[in-house]
Chain A
């Protein structure tokens, strides 16, 4: 009966509008997270400590070093006599970037086959990797009479951390992480709070049906999830230049599906938790593997088979795949039936578990 569903939704919205703290969290959590994550992985890093090993000592090599310094990205510290010293300084954290110009620099410069110089970066700090790639695109200084060189100028070697991450990869996935976090906690808490305060005992003594109660409570959060999606997307595009290559409609459809899946996960949690504190703990228990295994931070390639299997059971995994494809590669939703169906399957199974476990009883 729609009247009862509507009654629950209305009540929920009213209570949300009056609960300043929760309302603040709806906007505050996504903003804070995207800014924290976004800035920590921003390209726009300046004044990194750098040192040079110039084995060539030619006018060209000096000109190249001057150009690199002129980018403002690095600040040159005293030069190193050789590669071992450079590595030691990098290891001790004195410098983050090392530039190596080999003794055969002039010959490499004229030849076409090999990079003329090397940039060493400390890959244990994720943003520096991207910086080095930016530096490497600095062209060779061209002087009159020089041959135009077609060789890549630099060869970039990322030490300590071979995989590369960028804001462009992380921000779209961040939509998923933030939604996952807030949606699961909000629904789990919304139901457990009523259990804790005794409202649920009153509600289950009325003719309301379990599904009306659940759906009525979820509807406002679907809207909140879509608002959060918009917020993160806007900040991502404005501040962090995340491209939006695919269709917005596809994006919102994918987000809505994912939101529904995480909400039902919250429902399942609410049937286990007796107190709000337990609900928070259980939510975090599901959040951690989501963040670690969904491909949000680490690529699947390096994961053991068990971790990959767990990843398949997490809604975030499939959403990260979908949203990266939509935002970055401009893929249409129609091309993502497999992850969409996996999300749908999660939704159906979780909903079945929640309704089976939720009785209009106290025992």
Chain B
């Protein structure tokens, strides 16, 4: 058996890391993933943004060959999945949504074990463990059992274990869901370091701020990709005008606005309202003010740049029809 993982992609290999066409997965009556197409370039961070149950985990599991697609094709690093899954094992790193290293083993034992399972020879294993311990700041936790680590520490350990064998492609399923903001920032620094070395990263999240950091993004809802592209592009090409409203009585303001047929959705952000309006509407901020004045609600309004959250709301049918059809 070949114990030396391939570090360099064979010459002439395709430029994309992952390509999927019509990828579908059904569980009984539930269609968890519904005909998605993906083109994920190499050495980029690609994000899956979507609420719980939108099919992020199921898609990632199909991409790393753990689930059989019900329909569609997947190509990962030039190999057909799940057929070639075993051949690709040493070139992929997978971080499960739930922490799944061993609670009753220490940080050091967990890393040693993963190194052995990935078939790293003793010398390289020692060297790599030393490197990831340094990289992910695990030295002080080396002899501590994984079960006693905090959320952020666990996540560092999990990423260390997933990168121990220097994979070309990292699949990270909601890696920051149980982590404090500072740890999340540090974690993303680590991801950019990895990308700088040529690693491709697919990361799923339900945090908008994280999604905004990705090079490219797919927004998932009910198993479908409802929007796809670089975050900046998604925000600038949003099919709606975004008006921010500041009102003393937000409840009354909201009630007044939803009655306007050109208002697509109203979302509250603290004391402000984000109002998405039909882009065909002339001077949308004035239209909003008129509406509010008619309902005798005192307010100020400004036309603003769309946030990713607005993109998400727009892509999912403005909260009216859940799981709207893709917009292409």
Interface positions of A (Cβ within 8 A of B): 1, 3-4, 6-8, 10-11, 14-15, 18-19, 197-199, 201-208, 360-363
Contacts and interface: CB of A to CB of B under 8 A. Distances in A.
Contact of A201 (B96, B109, B116, B119): B96
Interface in B118-142: 118-119
Contact of A362 (B1, B61, B109): B61
Contact of B118 (A10, A14, A15, A207): A207
Given A15-B105, A197-B100, A205-B92, 13 more contacts: A6-B116, A11-B105, A14-B109, A198-B98, A199-B101, A203-B117, A204-B66, A206-B114, A206-B117, A207-B90, A207-B119, A361-B66, A361-B67
A197 B146 CA distance: 14
Contacts of A206: 89, 114, 117-118
Nearest to A199: B100
A363 B67 CA distance: 6
27 contacts: A3-B116, A4-B116, A6-B116, A7-B117, A11-B105, A11-B109, A11-B113, A14-B104, A14-B105, A14-B109, A15-B105, A19-B104, A198-B100, A199-B102, A202-B94, A202-B101, A203-B117, A206-B117, A207-B90, A207-B118, A360-B66, A360-B85, A361-B66, A361-B82, A362-B66, A363-B67, A363-B68
B280 interface: no
B152 to A, nearest CB: 19
A11 B102 CA distance: 9
B84 interface: no
Nearest to B5: A207
A207 B67 contact: no
9 closest Cβ contacts across the A-B interface? A7-B116, A198-B100, A207-B89, A202-B100, A205-B94, A198-B98, A206-B117, A362-B66, A1-B1
Given A15-B104, A361-B68, A202 B119 contact: no
A79 to B, nearest CB: 67
A207 B64 CA distance: 12
Interface in B76-95: 82, 85-86, 89-90, 92, 94
B269 interface: no
Contacts of B116: 3-4, 6-7
B30 interface: no
Contacts of A201: 66, 96, 100
Contacts of A208: 117
B294 interface: no
B86 A360 contact: yes
B21 to A, nearest CB: 20
Interface in B41-99: 61, 64-68, 82, 85-86, 89-90, 92, 94, 96, 98-99
B3 interface: yes
Contacts of A204: 66
B18 to A, nearest CB: 15
Contacts of B101: 199, 202
Category for how many chain B residues contact A: 20 to 34
Nearest to A18: B104
B117 A205 contact: no
Interface in B274-289: none
Interface in B1-44: 1, 3
A201 B101 CA distance: 10
Nearest to B2: A207
A205 B104 contact: no
A20 to B, nearest CB: 11
B119 A1 contact: yes
Contacts of B61: 362
Contacts of B1: 1
Contacts of A7: 113, 116-117
A7 B100 CA distance: 17
Contacts of A4: 116-117, 119
Given A11-B105, A360-B85, A3 B119 contact: yes
A348 B117 CA distance: 26
Contacts of B96: 198, 201-202
Contacts of A10: 113
Nearest to B66: A362
Contacts of B94: 202, 205
Contacts of B118: 206-207
A7 B99 CA distance: 20
Nearest to B158: A202
B86 A205 contact: no
Among A3, A198, A207, the most chain B Cβ lie within 10 Å of the Cβ of A207
A56 to B, nearest CB: 74
Contacts of B65: 361
A11 B103 CA distance: 12
Nearest to A16: B104
A7 B101 CA distance: 14
A3 B114 CA distance: 11
A214 to B, nearest CB: 14
Nearest to A3: B116
A7 B117 CA distance: 7
Nearest to B106: A14
A202 B110 CA distance: 12
A39 B66 CA distance: 52
Contacts of A14: 104-105, 109
Contacts of A198: 96, 98-100
B120 to A, nearest CB: 9
Nearest to A201: B96
Contacts of A202: 94, 96, 100-101
